[in-house]
């Protein structure tokens, strides 16, 4: 009798254990099925669209329209730290995406353009102003730019409207430089050691001489030489957004969607 009771209990235990194991197996299958469905849904609704978007946008960003964060003040007061500038890569030519190989060329950088290019020294992407064209003689005499022996004209300006973004010098000199038929802001920092005289040098064939608008705070063609046409990415035309890097990235709303070349200057 005791043997029958033990066997009965053992049988019930085995059946209970089998039921438990079957339940675990069913739950595991359901969990795996649910995870597979979630992965399929994630792939279909997120990964695939993002991948397709990347496939479409990346070549456009590389060859048509791009943007460039500006980390330094070398183009003040025209461009300031924290500006995100729009770069028109079709301004001069069409390139093979992700390369500097030209497929077609319809224009060349003009004097006064704000160009984005790769530094001939280390390949860093820079934003500067085109001041010298192929064949030009460029000279700087005590902050005055000479092109082919002719001094450019300057009109001094009150620096007060620009002072919220200028901290390199307590008494900056801001002026309007008439560069051929185009006028733009330039700035000098009298209390800062800088290369205020340079040249004369002749710009080589197929090359362009670049200067920063903040002439005493710019690493430009005075140091690394003229820039090859092939290294020029495009022309900067607008500030898309701007965040003040000296004030905890506070938005500069006045600079949002603002042209770099304003009519009347």
Q: Which CATH number do you get for residue 72?
A: 2.10.109.10
The pLDDT value recorded for residue 152 is 96
Q: How confident is the model at residue 250 (pLDDT cuts 50, 70, 90)?
A: very high
Determine if the peptide bond prior to 77 is cis (ω within 30°): yes
- The pLDDT of residue 31 is 72
What percent of the chain clears pLDDT 70, i.e. is strictly above it? 77
Same domain, 236 and 131: yes
For range 143-171, the mean pLDDT = 94
Domain endpoint, select from 38, 63, 88: 63
**Residue 21 resides in a domain:** yes
3-state SS, residue 34 = helix
Residues 25, 82 share a domain: no
Kindly state whether residues 23 and 113 are assigned to the same domain. Answer: no
pLDDT greater than 80 at residue 24: no
Residue 221 in contact with residue 130, Cβ under 8 Å? no
Span 190-217, pLDDT tens digits: 998 899 999 899 999 999 999 999 999 9
In the predicted structure, residue 188 carries a pLDDT above the cut 60: yes
- On whether residue 48 sits in a domain, the answer given is yes
* Res. 18: pLDDT tops 70: no
* Alpha carbon distance 130, 213 (integer Å): 10
**Does position 22 have pLDDT exceeding 80, yes or no?**
no
Between 10 and 145, whose confidence is greater? 145
Q: What is the pLDDT of residue 198?
A: 94
Which whole number is the average pLDDT over 28-57? 63
Q: Is residue 265 part of a domain?
A: no
pLDDT band at 133 (very low <50, low <70, confident <90, very high): very high
The reply to whether 54 and 75 lie within a common domain is: no
Does some domain include residue 264?
A: no
Is the residue at 105 inside a domain?
A: yes
**Residues 129 and 242 both lie in one domain:** yes
Number of domains in the chain: 2
Average pLDDT over residues 140-144: 95
In a domain? residue 86: yes
Which range of residues forms the domain containing residue 203? Answer: 66-259
Say yes or no: 54 and 99 in one domain.
Answer: no
Residue 112 shares a structural domain with residue 17: no
Q: What is the mean pLDDT of residues 38-59?
A: 58
Asked if residue 155 belongs to a domain, the reply is yes
CA atoms of 120 and 204, how far apart (whole Å): 14
Answer yes or no: do 111 and 238 share one domain.
yes
Q: How confident is the model at residue 64 (pLDDT cuts 50, 70, 90)?
A: low
Residues serving a catalytic function are 74, 128
Do 140 and 215 have their domain in common?
A: yes
Both 168 and 153 in one domain: the answer is: yes
Q: Are residues 73 and 38 in the same domain?
A: no
pLDDT band at 158 (very low <50, low <70, confident <90, very high): very high
Q: 241: number of CA atoms within 13 Å, CB side?
A: 5
Assess contact for 260 and 114: CB atoms under 8 A. Answer: yes
pLDDT at 199: 87
Same-domain status, 28 and 82: no
Residues 224, 192: Cα–Cα separation, whole Å: 20
Q: Is 122 part of a structural domain of the chain?
A: yes
């Amino acid at each position: 009798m005791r043997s029958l009771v033990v066997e009965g209990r053992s049988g019930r235990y085995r059946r209970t254990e089998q039921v438990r194991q079957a339940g675990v197996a069913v739950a595991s299958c359901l969990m795996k099925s649910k995870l597979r469905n979630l992965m399929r849904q994630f792939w279909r609704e997120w990964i695939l669209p993002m991948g397709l978007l990347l496939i479409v946008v990346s070549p456009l960003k590389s060859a048509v329209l791009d943007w460039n964060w500006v980390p330094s003040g070398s183009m003040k007061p025209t461009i300031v730290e924290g500006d995100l500038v729009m770069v028109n890569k079709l301004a001069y030519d069409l390139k093979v995406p992700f390369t500097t190989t030209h497929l077609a060329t319809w224009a060349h950088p003009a004097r006064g353009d704000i160009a984005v290019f790769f530094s001939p020294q280390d390949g860093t992407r820079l934003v500067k102003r085109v001041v010298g064209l192929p064949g030009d003689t460029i000279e700087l005499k005590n902050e005055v730019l000479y092109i082919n022996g002719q001094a450019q004209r300057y009109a001094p300006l009150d620096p007060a409207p620009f002072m919220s973004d200028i901290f390199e010098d307590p008494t900056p000199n801001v002026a309007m430089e008439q560069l051929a038929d185009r006028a733009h802001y330039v700035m000098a920092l009298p209390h800062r050691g800088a290369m205020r005289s340079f040249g004369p040098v002749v710009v080589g064939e197929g090359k362009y001489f670049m200067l920063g608008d903040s002439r005493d705070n710019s690493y430009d063609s005075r140091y690394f030489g003229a820039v090859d046409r092939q290294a020029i990415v495009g022309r900067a035309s607008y500030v898309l957004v701007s965040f003040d890097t000296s004030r905890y990235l506070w938005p500069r709303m006045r600079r949002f969607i603002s042209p770099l070349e304003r009519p009347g200057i």
